[in-house]
Amino acid sequence: MSRARTILRRTFLFGSAAVAGGVAFGFYSYKRAPNNPLLSGLKDGEAALTPYVKIDRDGVTIITPRADLGQGAHSILAALVAEELDLDWNSIRVDHGQPSQAYYNGTVAVEGLPVAATDTGFIAQGGRVVADVAGKFLSLQVTGGSSTVADAYDKMRVAGAVARDVLLSAAAQQTGLAKATLTTRDGTVITPDGRALSYSSLAGAAAKIDPPARVRLKPEAEWRYLGKPMRRIDMVAKSTGTATYGIDLEMPGMVYATVRTNPRLGGALKAYDASAAEKAKGVLKVVPIAGGVGVIADNTWRAFQAASLIKFDWGPAPYPATTAAMFEAVASSFIPERQDSRFKKDGDIEAALKGASVMTAEYKVPYLAHAPLEPMNAVVQLKDGKLDIWTGTQVPVFLIKTAALMTGLLAENIRLHVQISGGSFGRRLEDDYVRQAIELAQAYPGRPIKMTWTREEDMTHDFPRPLGMARMRGAVKDGQVDAYDLNIAYPSVTASQTRRLNQSVPGPDVAIVAGAWDQPYKIPHYRVTGYRVPALVPISSWRSVGASGNGFFHDCFLDELIHAAGADPLKERLRLCWHEPSRKVLEAVGAMSNWGSNLGKDRGRGLAFTLSFGVPTAEVVEVTSTPKGIRIDKVFVAVEVGKVLDPVNFENQVQGGIIWGLGHAMNAELTYRDGIAEQTNFHAFESMRFDQAPQIEIRALTNTTQIRGIGEPTVPPCAPALANAIFAATGKRIRELPLSKQIAFV
Amino acid sequence: MRLKVNGKTHDVDVENAMPLLWVLRDELGIMGPKYGCGIAVCGACTVHVNGEPVRSCSLQVGDLKGEVTTIEGLGSPETMHVVQAAWMQHQVAQCGYCQSGQIMAAAALLAVNAEPTDQDIDLTMSAHLCRCGTYPRIRLAIKTAAAELRKRKP
């Protein structure tokens, strides 16, 4: 325990003081269940049986306190409750609910620990328990890290089962029948003589019954929803244009706004001239905000037009002005003083390389924008000492604290109405756009203000995935991979994020080496070292975070070594891999792709494997080298997820992850000139288009009992599988993303 | 200025240069067409003008000639257009933000081409961006909708 605690103290991601306190003192007090936020504000006849289930005259509402960004979080969370509570799927209503400590996410914090997902030892498990408690202590109501389902799997099912048990007790009281003789079905309690009592009619009585301390969960064999294809609850609305995103909200008296801030991120606004904007049609007010100016008008487009009339004198960027200069900062960080971690150190790398024929390589990955299709926006109204915020966010509890600090209002006078989002990919972990909307509301109180960013503002004010580099050395012996020394340098995402929360992180940042140090290979001499590049552009989590670049680094050079050894890429990975579930996905993808068979002239297949977010993922990409460029023909993917709770949404997330991973590897990068992102819209940041999307064949393996999310783990192996396939088809080894810098795609 | 949207006539007081998208969204409260890029490269704002697919973010309302149909006019949750029903059947949407435009493009394609080849589908749909990566399901849904439309025709 003491070592686990030391590791946690040094490395925990959310500020050591709070966490050290949480670990040392908070453990016992935070073992208690947090207050149920639904209990305040209940009306007569309403019952909130757990923080996740509310029943009133109209039926059952399930609180789904995670952000639905397109990944289907609300549907799967509702299904977990509905399964145990025996609800009719067609009657299900969900509500994100008010932000509350009760809805902490214990799993997202676990991903920040330097404990490999394959490690089930005492210290690793102890660390996970402590992280879960710390998550509660820190009120981490966060959506991210592919953690939604893993965190909710027991919590939400227990919530449903507890509610069902209380309703059965209420029905027994009301009918005088023995509780054991009652059953439930589709939102009703059924008596032995076939009478159906709706949950709504039992809500009043149920509210007076203490919930049980223990409940029995349904065995899997009795599941009627989980594990079977489900109709996502948002599908009708999203197929008919009737889904309401934050950007679609309309309210009486609403005004419309946009902002411009220094595109040299964090740079000052030295001066501006808004005289033309102030006179423009429809403009109500021009408002200075932190680092820029907001325009409030009677129509969003008029606000856009007026903002474009403002003349700005922006200050310089607080970081090097060009991508080339930033890569120089990365390249000069492979020095002992900047060493951040060395979690992997097997064998004796220096001795193994001495005298051997040493292979070396340098790899690079670029900055990448999140660029969800719905630009950042928020609706804010400050009226009569109360603040209302309507927006899509992954960090609702943080947001309320931020709003309270900015306005001086008590948290109880701030209401956050979390909206569904048109994508996020990590972007809505940040609160910059909400802060701006609050500033506008402070300058223009009374009416609801809908602030919308232009796409250009969105692209140039992202917190991108950081650029990074890797330097590798390696050696082969007797036709086998013998030594692999991987050195990785990035700016720290975690440090950048916590700096914005006025925190600092004393220990190493696991994200710098995630997806590299924790791979399940037994290479005789194997070392992974992380180097921290001093802060450059402000950065944040991007779908699959550190593993998004490290999958490319780790697996491509492994492929180089395997080819140098004259070994088969699949067989050698299998020989090196000690983790049985990971071996199984490698074997599966080999069988699916008919690995080893002849593909014919100008064609090639590449294999890659990354274990990230606890999910071993193997992918094979098949390409054809055509006279006009590389065509991606087919992708095979095998993943180990333990359980597939919704096969349809699972497939959707895997397809999406593959297209995301391949598309950005092909042609996307953010570059900087004069401190400003050069790609201002989708014409210059395309990723994959429809005609380039390959066939994707998917297999889910369920050899473990783990519950994991699938939004991110399929992304990291995409770039290396594609690059390895291009090598197989053309003999060209590309060591820099995007690949389009060196080869064309059709 | 007078315009006809989804069979209903509206009078609006806007400048000619305002893009149709913002007339629909901020003046008429028709929120199905989405703002994604503002420069006609993503397709999220696609509506029909006299049945033809048009990028409403880049069409000045003063240049509008004809009747506008938005996704709200194509079908409703109760009475879905065959393309929307196919979108449901294949559970296409993830975040869903681009899907209004995707559906309007697919409906316009099928209106003139009842049996689109994969190349036909590629040509039309490659003009529409989906950040979530729903392309494989969109292809399946278009084929399902095409088959359904052919079945309905004698």
DSSP assignment string, A140-168: -----TT-HHHHHHHHHHHHHHHHHHHHH
Per DSSP bridges, beta strands A59-63 and A93-95 are: parallel
Tell me which chain A residues have a C-beta less than 8 angstroms from the C-beta of B138. Answer: 690
Nearest-by-Cβ selection for B91 from A232, A245, A660: A232
Range ranked top by mean pLDDT from A56-65, A94-103, A403-412: A403-412
Closest of A230, A161, A377, A566 to residue B91, by C-alpha = A230
> What does the alpha-carbon distance between residue A436 and residue A448 come to, in Å, rounded to a whole number?
14
Q: Kindly identify which residue of chain A lies nearest to residue B86, measuring between CA atoms.
A: A239
* Pick from A17-21, A193-197, A697-701: least confident: A17-21
**pLDDT recorded at residue A97:** 78
What contacts A210, CB < 8 A, 6 or more positions away? none
- What share of chain A in percent tops pLDDT 70? 89
Whether B102 and chain A come into contact, CB under 8 Å, resolves to no
**What is the sign of the dihedral through the CA atoms of A341, A344, A346 and A349?**
negative
Mean pLDDT of A383-395: 96
Nearest-by-Cβ selection for B19 from A301, A652, A656: A301
Nearest-by-Cβ selection for A373 from B44, B76, B126: B44
What contacts B79, CB < 8 A, 6 or more positions away? none
With a threshold of 0.90, does the pTM exceed it? yes
* CB-CB under 8 Å, B70 with A658: no
> What does the alpha-carbon distance between residue A704 and residue A118 come to, in Å, rounded to a whole number?
11
Give me the total of CB pairs closer than 8 Å, taking one residue from chain A and one from chain B.
Answer: 187
**pLDDT recorded at residue A501:** 81
CA distances from A587 to A8, A571, A583, A620 (A): 36, 9, 6, 11
Grade residue A104 by pLDDT with cuts at 50, 70 and 90.
Answer: confident
Grade residue A115 by pLDDT with cuts at 50, 70 and 90.
Answer: low
Whether B12 and chain A come into contact, CB under 8 Å, resolves to no
Closest of B37, B137, B44 to residue B99, by C-alpha = B44
Distance from CA of A654 to the nearest CA of B (A): 9
Residues in chain A: 746
Tell me which chain B residues have a C-beta less than 8 angstroms from the C-beta of A70. Answer: 93-97, 132
What part of A 418-457 touches B (C-beta under 8 Å)?
A: 420-425, 452, 454-456
Helix axes of B135-152 and B99-112: crossing angle, nearest 10 degrees: 40
Residues A522-576 pLDDT 10s: 999 999 999 999 999 999 999 999 999 999 999 999 999 999 999 999 999 999 9
In chain B, the largest separation of any two C-alpha atoms, in whole Å, equals: 47
Grade residue A617 by pLDDT with cuts at 50, 70 and 90.
Answer: very high
Whether B28 and chain A come into contact, CB under 8 Å, resolves to no
pLDDT at A633 over 60: yes
Tell me which chain B residues have a C-beta less than 8 angstroms from the C-beta of A655. Answer: 133-134, 136-137
* CB-CB under 8 Å, A690 with B122: yes
- Mean pLDDT, chain A, rounded, equals 89
Nearest-by-Cβ selection for A652 from B77, B84, B91: B91
A107 versus A534: which is more confidently predicted?
Answer: A534
* DSSP per residue, B71-87: HHHH--SSS--HHHHHH
**pLDDT recorded at residue A66:** 86
> What does the alpha-carbon distance between residue A649 and residue A234 come to, in Å, rounded to a whole number?
12
Distance from CA of B96 to the nearest CA of A (A): 5
Tell me which chain B residues have a C-beta less than 8 angstroms from the C-beta of A234. Answer: 93, 96
Whether A718 and chain B come into contact, CB under 8 Å, resolves to no
CB of A555 closer than 8 Å to CB of A733: no
Mapped onto helix, strand or coil, the DSSP state of residue A339 is strand
CB of A649 closer than 8 Å to CB of A79: no
Mean pLDDT of A392-400: 91
Distance from CA of B153 to the nearest CA of A (A): 24
Nearest-by-Cβ selection for A681 from B39, B93, B132: B39
CA distances from A657 to A358, A635, A718 (A): 35, 12, 9
Mapped onto helix, strand or coil, the DSSP state of residue A302 is helix
Q: What angle do CA A439, A442, A447 make, to 5 degrees?
A: 110
Grade residue A21 by pLDDT with cuts at 50, 70 and 90.
Answer: very low
Q: Which two tokens stand for residue A275?
A: 């005289």
CB of A577 closer than 8 Å to CB of A519: no
Whether cis (ω within 30° of 0) applies to the bond prior to A738 is yes
* DSSP per residue, A610-634: EEETTEEEEEEEEEEEETTEEEEEE
**pLDDT recorded at residue A46:** 67
Nearest-by-Cβ selection for B42 from A304, A373, A658: A373
Tell me which chain A residues have a C-beta less than 8 angstroms from the C-beta of B74. Answer: 241
> What does the alpha-carbon distance between residue B4 and residue B17 come to, in Å, rounded to a whole number?
18
Mean pLDDT of A72-85: 93
Residue with tokens 């609706």: A379
**pLDDT recorded at residue A128:** 53
Strands (E) in A648-719, as ranges, are 672-673, 676-677, 695-701
Distance from CA of A22 to the nearest CA of B (A): 36
Distance from CA of A373 to the nearest CA of B (A): 5
Whether B27 and chain A come into contact, CB under 8 Å, resolves to yes
> What does the alpha-carbon distance between residue A138 and residue A125 come to, in Å, rounded to a whole number?
20
Tell me which chain A residues have a C-beta less than 8 angstroms from the C-beta of B41. Answer: 681-683
* DSSP per residue, A545-602: TTHHHHHHHHHHHHHHHHHHHT--HHHHHHHHB--HHHHHHHHHHHHHTTTTS---TT
Other beta carbons within 10 angstroms of residue A339's beta carbon come to: 16
Q: Kindly identify which residue of chain B lies nearest to residue A255, measuring between CA atoms.
A: B26
Grade residue A95 by pLDDT with cuts at 50, 70 and 90.
Answer: confident
Helix runs in A176-285, H state only:
199-206, 235-239, 275-279
Closest of A450, A514, A157 to residue A284, by C-alpha = A450
CB of A88 closer than 8 Å to CB of A187: yes
Mutate to test the interface with B, among A230, A233, A239 (most CBs of B within 10 A): A239
Q: Kindly identify which residue of chain B lies nearest to residue A301, measuring between CA atoms.
A: B22
**pLDDT recorded at residue A615:** 96
Closest of A652, A653, A617 to residue A636, by C-alpha = A617
> What does the alpha-carbon distance between residue A110 and residue A150 come to, in Å, rounded to a whole number?
11
> What does the alpha-carbon distance between residue A126 and residue B74 come to, in Å, rounded to a whole number?
56
What contacts A552, CB < 8 A, 6 or more positions away? A363, A365, A665, A716, A719, A720, A723, A737
**pLDDT recorded at residue A150:** 84
Distance from CA of B154 to the nearest CA of A (A): 27
Reported ipTM: 0.98
- Give how far the C-alpha of residue A277 lies from the chain's centroid of Cα atoms, to the nearest Å: 38
Whether A90 and chain B come into contact, CB under 8 Å, resolves to no
Whether B38 and chain A come into contact, CB under 8 Å, resolves to yes
Grade residue A250 by pLDDT with cuts at 50, 70 and 90.
Answer: very high
**What is the sign of the dihedral through the CA atoms of A422, A427, A430 and A433?**
negative
CB of A299 closer than 8 Å to CB of A256: yes
Torsion of CA A64, A69, A72, A77, to 10 degrees: -20
* CB-CB under 8 Å, B128 with A239: no
Tell me which chain A residues have a C-beta less than 8 angstroms from the C-beta of B145. Answer: none
**pLDDT recorded at residue B115:** 95
Tell me which chain A residues have a C-beta less than 8 angstroms from the C-beta of B93. Answer: 70, 232, 234-235, 238-239
What part of A 629-648 touches B (C-beta under 8 Å)?
A: 648
Whether B16 and chain A come into contact, CB under 8 Å, resolves to no
Whether A248 and chain B come into contact, CB under 8 Å, resolves to yes
pLDDT at A92 over 50: yes
Closest of A131, A134, A106 to residue A22, by C-alpha = A134
Mean pLDDT of A514-519: 97
* Pick from A31-40, A175-184, B73-82: least confident: A31-40
Nearest-by-Cβ selection for A236 from B41, B77, B135: B77
Grade residue A109 by pLDDT with cuts at 50, 70 and 90.
Answer: low
Mean pLDDT of B51-80: 97
Mean pLDDT of A227-250: 96
Mean pLDDT of A590-596: 98
**pLDDT recorded at residue A102:** 72
Whether A715 and chain B come into contact, CB under 8 Å, resolves to no
* CB-CB under 8 Å, A372 with B26: no
**pLDDT recorded at residue A40:** 62
Mutate to test the interface with A, among B16, B35, B99 (most CBs of A within 10 A): B35
Mutate to test the interface with B, among A238, A308, A658, A689 (most CBs of B within 10 A): A238
* CB-CB under 8 Å, A423 with B97: yes
> What does the alpha-carbon distance between residue A602 and residue A488 come to, in Å, rounded to a whole number?
33
What contacts A397, CB < 8 A, 6 or more positions away? A99, A100, A101, A139, A140, A141
Residues A444-480 pLDDT 10s: 999 999 999 999 999 999 999 999 999 999 999 999 9
Burial class (CB in 10 A: 0-12, 13-18, 19+), A32: exposed
**pLDDT recorded at residue B42:** 97
Whether A70 and chain B come into contact, CB under 8 Å, resolves to yes
Residues A201-227 pLDDT 10s: 998 888 888 888 788 999 999 999 999
Q: Which two tokens stand for residue B89?
A: 């059947």
